[in-house]
Amino acid sequence: MRTDRLGRGAIEVTELGFGGGPLGGLFEPLDDDTAAGALAAAWDAGIRYFDTSPHYGIGHSERRIGEFLRTKPRAEFTLSTKVGRLLVPQEAAGRMDESFQVPATHRRVWDFSRDGVRRSVEDSLARMGVDRIDMLFLHDAEQHFEAALRDGYPALAELRAEGVVGAVGAGMYDNVKLTRLVAETDVDVVMLSGRYTLLDQRALDDLLPACAERGVSLLAASIFNSGLLATPRPAPGARFDYEPASAELLKRAHRIADVCEAHGVTLPQAAMAFPLRHPVVAGIVVGMRSSEEARRNAESFEAEIPELLWAGLRAEGLLDERH
C-alpha cells in the first residue's frame, strides 16, 4: 500500500489507516475476537498505520491494538494515540460508558497540562504494552483549546525533542482552531475529523491552505461523516457527525451516489478517494470493527476512480469548485 511522509519529519503512514474508535465498542458492543479479526484483516490488506486513543472505550481500543501489534515487527508499523483525557478508575455499577458499549470502570478527566500529557503517554504505553508511540495528538481540544495550545502543545514538542515520539499534532473537528494551531506552533500533522469529505469541504477555506504554507500534513478522519457515506445507498437513520442525518443531507448523499453510479463508482469508494486528491493530505483514517469491514474498506480504497467523476460532481454543484 502507498505510504506518505508526514510534514518535514521521518514518520510515514500508509495512505489508508486503521481508525481505532470502533474497537472501543462505539455504539455497539464488540468482543476481543472480532476486534482481533479486524486488525488481522487490515494487516493482511497492507495497512500499517494504526490510530487509537484512551478515549475510545476508556482504554479498550488501546489494549486491543497493543495486543495485536505486539505480535508484529516494530519497524513495520506506525502507531498514534492521543492525550487530553486521563482515565481514573471508578466503580462501574452496571453502567455503560457514554457512546462506548463497555462497562464504565473509569471516568475521563480533562488534562492538557505537561504532567497530564506525560502521565497519559505513560498510561497508554502500559495499556498497549509497546515500547514507543510514533505520533501523538492533542485530542478533542475544542472546548479546552487555550489550555491545549498553552500547555499541551509545548508538552508534545518536549516529548518530540526528547525522541519519545516522532511527530506531534492535534485531532479535532474544528478546522478554525486547527488552523490557529498550525499557524502558531510547529506541529507536524493534524487529524481533521469530518470537515474535508464529499459532504463537507469547509477546510478548504482555511486549514488546507495553512497546512500547505507551513509544511504540515493532514490526516482526514471521519471521511464517511460517521456513516452517511459508508454505504452505496445510505438508508434513513444513517448517521452524520454521530447524529441521525437530516432529510436534506440524506438527499444530497443520494445525489452524490447517483453521479458515482453513472461513472461506475460506489459512494464509499469516492468518499475514500476524495481527500487524498489534495496535496497536503497524507492519508485517510477509517474506523473498522470487523474483518469484513476491514477487507471491504481496503477493496474500496484500491478502486480506480475516473477523473470525470469529480468533474461530474462539480457540474451538479455537489463539490467545491476549488477541489
Residue 139, exposed/middle/buried by CB under 10 A (0-12, 13-18, 19+)?
Answer: buried
Q: Provide the 3-class DSSP secondary structure of residue 6.
A: coil
Sequence spans of domains, the chain: 3-243+267-303
- Find out whether 207 and 183 touch, Cβ atoms under 8 Å: no
Check if CATH label 3.20.20.100 holds for domain 3-243+267-303. Answer: yes
Q: Provide the 3-class DSSP secondary structure of residue 210.
A: helix
| Full-model pTM | 0.96
- Find out whether 65 and 39 touch, Cβ atoms under 8 Å: yes
- Find out whether 223 and 229 touch, Cβ atoms under 8 Å: yes
Q: Catalytic residue positions? A: 56
**DSSP designation for 299:** H
Give how far Cα 187 sits from Cα of 6, 123, 178, 246, Å.
10, 23, 10, 36
Give me 170's grid cell: 492535534
- Find out whether 194 and 226 touch, Cβ atoms under 8 Å: yes
What stretch of H or E contains 13? strand 12-14
Could you read off the pLDDT tens digit of each residue along the chain, which spans 323 residues? 999 999 988 999 999 999 999 999 998 999 999 999 999 999 999 999 999 999 999 999 999 999 999 999 999 999 999 999 999 999 877 788 979 999 999 999 999 999 999 999 999 999 999 999 999 999 999 999 999 999 999 999 999 999 999 999 999 999 999 999 999 999 999 999 999 999 999 999 999 999 999 999 999 999 999 999 999 999 999 999 989 999 999 999 999 999 999 999 999 999 999 999 999 999 999 999 999 999 999 999 999 999 999 999 999 999 988 87
**DSSP designation for 148:** I
Angle at 65 between CA 8 and CA 135, to 5 degrees: 15
